[in-house]
Amino acid sequence: MDMRRLVGSNVKALRLAKGWTQEEFAVRSGFTQQYISGLESGHRNPTIVTLFELSQALETTPVALLTPPKAD
């Protein structure tokens, strides 16, 4: 499993569940829209600190960003 894609997918799903655009999430998280775009597409390799900051902005835990979605 590619962890960069997993994190990006989880971030995108959580962001969309809140109804936020990438621009809105960028403002809330303190990262640029370009960084968010790269992250969600699996092209960024976030640090532990970045995962923490993203999870705080999304009102979740860092573990939630690293957990694969449950299969239906």
Query: What gap in Å lies between CA 1 and CA 26, rounded to an integer?
Result: 26
**Extents of the domains making up the chain:** 3-62
pLDDT band at 72 (very low <50, low <70, confident <90, very high): low
Residues 6+ apart with CB under 8 A from 43: 4, 8
Tokens 């960069």: give the residue: 4
Q: What is the CATH number of domain 3-62?
A: 1.10.260.40
Per residue in 14-58, pLDDT tens?
999 999 999 999 999 999 999 999 999 999 999 999 999 999 999
Nearest to 9 by CA among 40, 33, 50: 40
Query: What gap in Å lies between CA 71 and CA 58, rounded to an integer?
Result: 23
Task: With 0.85 as the threshold, say if the pTM is over it.
Answer: yes
